[in-house]
Amino acid sequence: MDVDVDDSDSEHDSSGSSGSPDSDKHSTDSDSSSSSSSSSDTDGEKSSEHGEASDTFGQVRLFELGLGGISRMANAQRFRPLLSTLNDAVDETQQLVALQELAELLSMATEESLIGVDIGDFARVLINLGGGPSGDLAGLVAGNANVMLLACRCLSNLLEALPLSGSTLLRHGAVDMLCGRLLDIEYIDVAEQALSVLARISRDFAARVCEAGGLSACLMFLDFFASSTQHTALTCAVNCARAISSDQFAQAADAVPVLERTMFYSDPKTVELSCAALLHLVTAFRSSPERTERLVSADLLQRIVTSFRSGDSMHHDEASVALLRLLVVVATASRERAAQLLGMAIIPTVCDILSAQCVDPHVAFGAVDEARNTRQYRQRSAVRVPEPAWEALRLVLALLPRLPITSESLGHMEVFVCQGN
């Protein structure tokens, strides 16, 4: 049987099938265009958001810079009238009021609050005011004790608020002024305040302080000060002794008699600082046996050995360690002083130090072998050797005679080593 196929239906199907690629192409193009338009919209949104964020950051930065400029201007406006008053005052009352206000402001100041303030101008004025009648700045009322005291107090508060201002004070002659206040004491309060400022400067600029005579200045009238001020003076002396140079031996020799006296005081802090200062001075000149012998006399050695025998220095660990190190340096630098130490029977004293530091006083010498088996002894022996014991051993090594370094002695040593092998 023949089946008739409708031509219209076939044509319709063929036309539909032939038109499908074009329709798919159009739909793909429309999809890509829509996706590209959406991506462009997204990129535009991101770029706009980034632009807004950068604009916001820039505005915040400008705001912060504006605040910084405003704060600097505000700081300058707070301190500028005080500087003008100190420069132009002809009445002591006005000057004292300005100094009191400046001291209060500096006592509460920080590094941020001093931004924009010309520290150099204030340093110049305060140093000349603290110098008393020797101040060479025109228009200043100098010589009043309260003025000098407040000027030194302002310098002290300035160093506390801005530690980096020490270089500025040095450049304007603060060390010379402070040493002058200590070498020529008119008012004890002014001297104590000047000593405090000098000790603070000596932390970072000890060499400059020593060059200006700071070591002699801080020890010149030590006995006139209270105990706490003596500690400040000795701390300044320790800082200067660390930085003393070889051409300042005269200043070191002048300081030794004062340290010899204070190192046997009853105050532990004074003894500790005095021993440390003397140790640094002797160490600085240990390359010269003559200078070492001038700094440390035989009488001083005898007093040190006697203090160890009596147990006075044993009560202060830091002082005893410093004294033992001093003896080591002296015995190493000068063979004459080493022989004198041996004549003073230093070896039994060293044995006593080692026994006190390394042997348990509760264990009898006959029971040492038995005690070594105990757990407590093993735990104690694992602890490091006390520092006084190490220094005592170093002293023994320093006192031993030195072998001559000659070709003959080296030949004997070589033969000895060969026989041992």
Report pLDDT digits (tens) over 139-162.
444 458 899 999 999 999 999 999
Mean pLDDT of the 113-117 span:
83
Q: Which of 300, 210, 213 is nearest to 262 (CA)?
A: 300
Task: Look at residue 6 in the predicted model and tell me its pLDDT.
Answer: 46
Per-residue model confidence as pLDDT tens digits over 175-210: 999 999 999 888 999 999 999 999 999 999 999 999
Of 83-92, 194-203, 376-385, the least confident:
376-385
pLDDT band at 368 (very low <50, low <70, confident <90, very high): very low
Check residue 404 and report its DSSP letter: P
Interval 113-122 mean pLDDT = 86
Give residue 384's pLDDT. Answer: 64
Q: What is the pLDDT of residue 152?
A: 95
Confidence of residue 228 (pLDDT cuts 50, 70, 90): very high
Q: Are 333 and 292 in contact (CB under 8 A)?
A: yes
- pTM beyond 0.75: the answer is no
Residue 8 pLDDT? 43
pLDDT at residue number 421:
43
- Token pair, residue 371, equals 């005690």
- Pick the residue with more confidence: 62 or 321? 321
pLDDT of 53 over the 50 cut: no
Compute CA distances 214 → 145, 220, 227, 265, 282, whole Å. Answer: 22, 10, 19, 23, 18
Among 57-66, 85-94, 112-121, 318-327, name the one with the lowest average pLDDT. Answer: 57-66
Q: Which residues contact 20 (CB under 8 A, 6 or more apart)?
A: none
Q: What is the DSSP letter of 186?
A: S
Select from 252, 250, 232 the least CA-distant residue to 242.
252
pLDDT in tens, 278-298: 999 999 999 999 999 999 999
* pLDDT the model gives residue 413: 54
Q: What's the mean per-residue pLDDT of the chain?
A: 78
